[in-house]
Amino acid sequence: MGHMKPKLYTISNAAGMSLTASSLGGIVTSLKVPGPDGKLHETLLACRSAELHHGNGYMNALIGRFGNRISGGGFSLDGEFHALAQNSGGKKHPCSLHGGETGFDRCVWNVEKYAGAEGPCLAFTRLSPDGEEGYPGNLFVRVVYTVTEDNAWRIDYLATTDKPTVANLTQHAYFNLNGGVRDVSEHVVQVDASRYTAVDAGLIPTGEVPSVEGTALDLRAPTRLGDVFARAGRDKLLKGASGGIDHNFVLDRTAPGLAHAADFLDTESGLAMQVYTTEPCVQVYTANFLTEAVPARAGQTYGKHWAVCFETQHAPDSPNRASFASTRLDPGDVYRSTTVYAFGTLETDDCDCRGDDCDCGHGHGCRCGNGK
């Protein structure tokens, strides 16, 4: 985990929204946002210490060099094969998951705290050396967490390399808008995706990108998660993902840039979250593999379906799929990616993007910045 001792850092805005993160893996141990009752509400699951997050599904950690799965023992680049650790899937379905045995989530990062243009920031930087976990190139990585003044958690990723390589960075935040006191059955989710990447028994993409129409993955309209979980025992897609959603959704993007990807809301607390990203896809994961009775920060325990992750990304196994958007990064090029988790309430919305005043098509509540 590196020679430096991990430290915790906290940033907060004028409204009281605060984020606490560790230099260990960029792990976020707390994300509190103002609720409709005027009080601060915890929106992430968290263990009693950052170190415990590793054994519980990469909870709230930075993921790299490559988020999600890579099949076939590794990947080829310019005719050279790069072998990767097979750290997931067991003997039947071996693959490399989330960067390998010692991914970015297990590294101690350099951290700088500063005042940014949109709000207070934490900048995480490290140099991933050539050959780390089998990946070519010295990869310099900078990831900035910003708590914006309008109550959003913005993540900006940047990376450069001195050899051709692949990169696919994300954040594995476990969102639960009821503070983690119960599962997310009463949460509602909506995803702007008409297609998803089909996977085999090892959760590796087959190359097919079918429509969500008529499936349990049709989340284009707001959908109560309890209704999805109720289908899990008889639905092939959900059963294949251990009784819930664990799928890569291909977003219905019409142009590059920051675009709306998903909505997430808790009908009990009244908290709502909107996801925006520059990425082409998002992995929606309903914590199907979360170990039962995970010891939590406040003494309660978590379990299956206790959170939802919105892992913005390029598609899994992209280095081995020429038909998928490329994750290649060459010397001289800069990897850039941005994701925003914007918080509000069901009763109020302070966004100035008002339907007809914006041509983005997302209507009232959109934070795309195109409001006039």
Catalytic positions, please?
Answer: 172, 311
Contact indicator for 31, 145 with CB cutoff of 8 Å: no
Give me the long-range contacts of 69-73 (CB less than 8 A, separation at least 24).
Answer: 69/95, 69/96, 69/97, 69/203, 69/204, 69/316, 69/317, 70/95, 70/96, 70/316, 70/317, 70/319, 70/320, 71/95, 71/202, 71/204, 71/317, 71/320, 72/320
Contact indicator for 167, 319 with CB cutoff of 8 Å: no
Query: How far is 69 from 283, CA to CA, in rounded Å?
Result: 11
Query: How far is 113 from 94, CA to CA, in rounded Å?
Result: 39
Query: How far is 137 from 177, CA to CA, in rounded Å?
Result: 39
DSSP 186-214: TEEEEE-EEEE--B-TTS-B-S---B-TT
Query: How far is 119 from 153, CA to CA, in rounded Å?
Result: 10
Contact indicator for 243, 209 with CB cutoff of 8 Å: no
Query: How far is 346 from 253, CA to CA, in rounded Å?
Result: 25
Q: Count of CB atoms within 10 A of residue 177's CB?
A: 27
Contact indicator for 272, 346 with CB cutoff of 8 Å: yes
Query: How far is 250 from 165, CA to CA, in rounded Å?
Result: 23
Contact indicator for 94, 104 with CB cutoff of 8 Å: no
